[in-house]
Chain A
Amino acid sequence: MTASLQQRRASRRSAVRASARTAGPSGWFAAPALALFFVFAILPIAGVVLLSFTSWNGLGAIELTGLDSWKRVLTDPVTVNALVVTAKIMIFSFVVQFPISLLLGVFTAGMQRYRAVLAVIYFVPLLLSSAAVAIAFKALLDPNFGVGAIKGFEAFRQDWLGNSDLVLFVVVFVIAWQFVPLHTLIYQGGVKQIPRSLYEAAEIDGAGRVQQFFSVTLPQLKYTIITSSTLMVVGSLTYFDLIFVLTGGGPGYATRLLPLHMYLTGFRANDMGAASALGVILIVVGLLLAVVLQRLGGRDRAASQMEGA
Chain B
Amino acid sequence: MTPVRPLRTNNVVGSRWPVAVIANETETTMSLTPKRSLTVGAAVLAGALALTACGSSGPNQTSGSSGGGGSSTATMWGLSQAPFQGVLDTSVQSWNDANPDSPIDVEFFAGEDYKPKVRTAIGAGSAPTFIYGWGGGVLKSYVDEGKVLDLTPYIEENPELKDRYLEAVYENGTVDGKPYALPNSYSQPVMLYYNKTLFEEAGVEPPETWDDLMDLVDVFKKEGVAPFSVGGQSRWPELMWLSYLVDRIGGPEVFESILNNEPEAWSDPAVIEALTKIQELVRAGGFIDGFSSVAADNRADQALLYTGRAAMMVHLAGAYSGIKGDAPDFVANDELGYTRFPAVEGGEGDPENVIGNPSNFWSISADASEEQIDTAIGYLTDEMFSDEYVDSIIEAGSVPALVDVKDKLSQSENKDFMETIYEYASSAPNFQLSWDQALAPEQGEAMLTNLALIFLDQQTPEEFADAMNATLAP
Q: What residues make up the interface of A, taking CB atoms closer than 8 Å to B?
A: 15-16, 19-20, 23-26, 28-29, 31-32, 35-36, 57-60, 138-139, 141-145, 157-164, 197, 200-201, 204, 247-253, 264, 267-271, 302, 304, 306-309
**Quick one: which of B15, B38, B232, B300 contacts A144, CB cutoff 8 A?**
B300
A2 to B377, CA, bound (A): 96
A302 to B21, CA, bound (A): 12
Contact B145 A59 (CB under 8 A): yes
With a cutoff of 8 Å between Cβ atoms, the chain A residues found around residue B309 in the complex are 144
**Quick one: which of B11, B31, B40, B49 contacts A23, CB cutoff 8 A?**
B31
B122 at the interface (CB under 8 A from A): yes
Chain A residue nearest in CB terms to B301: A144
B41 at the interface (CB under 8 A from A): yes
Chain B residue nearest in CB terms to A58: B123
Q: What residues make up the interface of B, taking CB atoms closer than 8 Å to A?
A: 2, 4-5, 7-11, 15-16, 19-20, 23-24, 27-28, 30-32, 34, 37-38, 40-42, 44-45, 47-49, 52, 116, 119-120, 122-123, 141-142, 144-145, 147, 232-233, 235, 288-295, 298, 300, 303-304, 309, 441-442, 445-446, 449, 452-453, 456, 458-459
With a cutoff of 8 Å between Cβ atoms, the chain A residues found around residue B293 in the complex are 141-143, 159-163
**Quick one: which of B16, B142, B445 contacts A268, CB cutoff 8 A?**
B445
**Quick one: which of B303, B456, B459 contacts A145, CB cutoff 8 A?**
B303
With a cutoff of 8 Å between Cβ atoms, the chain A residues found around residue B233 in the complex are 138, 161-162, 247-248, 250-251
Are A251 and B292 CB-contacts (below 8 A) given A19-B27, A162-B232? yes
**Quick one: which of B10, B142, B442 contacts A271, CB cutoff 8 A?**
B442
Contact A308 B295 (CB under 8 A): no
Contact B48 A163 (CB under 8 A): no
A23 to B27, CA, bound (A): 7
Contact A26 B38 (CB under 8 A): yes
**How many Å from the CB of B361 to the closest CB on chain A?**
18
Contact B232 A29 (CB under 8 A): no
Contact B119 A59 (CB under 8 A): yes
A270 to B443, CA, bound (A): 10
Contact A32 B123 (CB under 8 A): no
**Quick one: which of B8, B27, B38 contacts A20, CB cutoff 8 A?**
B27
With a cutoff of 8 Å between Cβ atoms, the chain A residues found around residue B52 in the complex are 36
With a cutoff of 8 Å between Cβ atoms, the chain A residues found around residue B304 in the complex are 144
**How many Å from the CB of A162 to the closest CB on chain B?**
2
A57 to B49, CA, bound (A): 33
Are A161 and B41 CB-contacts (below 8 A) given A24-B31, A250-B452, A308-B10? no
Are A26 and B32 CB-contacts (below 8 A) given A144-B300, A159-B293, A163-B292? yes
Contact A253 B449 (CB under 8 A): yes
**How many Å from the CB of B127 to the closest CB on chain A?**
10
Contact A36 B48 (CB under 8 A): yes
**How many Å from the CB of B447 to the closest CB on chain A?**
11
With a cutoff of 8 Å between Cβ atoms, the chain A residues found around residue B289 in the complex are 143, 159
Q: A160-B293, A162-B233, A304-B16 are in contact. List 19 more A-B contacts (CB 8 A).
A: A20-B27, A26-B40, A29-B44, A31-B42, A35-B45, A35-B49, A57-B141, A58-B119, A144-B304, A161-B292, A161-B293, A162-B290, A162-B292, A248-B233, A250-B452, A251-B453, A268-B445, A304-B15, A309-B7
**How many Å from the CB of A248 to the closest CB on chain B?**
7
Are A248 and B235 CB-contacts (below 8 A) given A25-B32, A145-B303? yes
Chain A residue nearest in CB terms to B288: A144
Contact A59 B290 (CB under 8 A): no
**How many Å from the CB of A34 to the closest CB on chain B?**
9
Contact B19 A59 (CB under 8 A): no
With a cutoff of 8 Å between Cβ atoms, the chain A residues found around residue B45 in the complex are 31-32, 35
Per CB-CB distance, the 6 closest pairs between chain A and chain B, nearest first, are A162-B292, A28-B41, A26-B37, A308-B8, A143-B290, A159-B290
**How many Å from the CB of A6 to the closest CB on chain B?**
12
**How many Å from the CB of A83 to the closest CB on chain B?**
17
With a cutoff of 8 Å between Cβ atoms, the chain A residues found around residue B32 in the complex are 25-26
Contact A28 B119 (CB under 8 A): no
Chain B residue nearest in CB terms to A61: B145
**How many Å from the CB of B383 to the closest CB on chain A?**
29
A71 to B98, CA, bound (A): 57
A23 to B45, CA, bound (A): 22
Contact A142 B27 (CB under 8 A): no
Contact B11 A307 (CB under 8 A): yes
With a cutoff of 8 Å between Cβ atoms, the chain A residues found around residue B445 in the complex are 264, 268-269
A20 to B31, CA, bound (A): 11
Are A19 and B142 CB-contacts (below 8 A) given A250-B449, A251-B456, A307-B11? no
**How many Å from the CB of B26 to the closest CB on chain A?**
9
With a cutoff of 8 Å between Cβ atoms, the chain B residues found around residue A15 in the complex are 24
Contact B235 A270 (CB under 8 A): no
Listed A/B pairs (26) with beta-carbon separation below 8 Å: A19-B28, A20-B27, A23-B27, A24-B27, A26-B37, A26-B38, A31-B42, A32-B47, A35-B48, A36-B52, A59-B119, A142-B294, A143-B289, A143-B290, A144-B288, A159-B289, A159-B290, A159-B292, A162-B233, A163-B292, A201-B5, A248-B235, A251-B232, A252-B453, A308-B8, A309-B15
A159 to B287, CA, bound (A): 13
Chain B residue nearest in CB terms to A19: B24
A158 to B141, CA, bound (A): 42
Contact A60 B5 (CB under 8 A): no
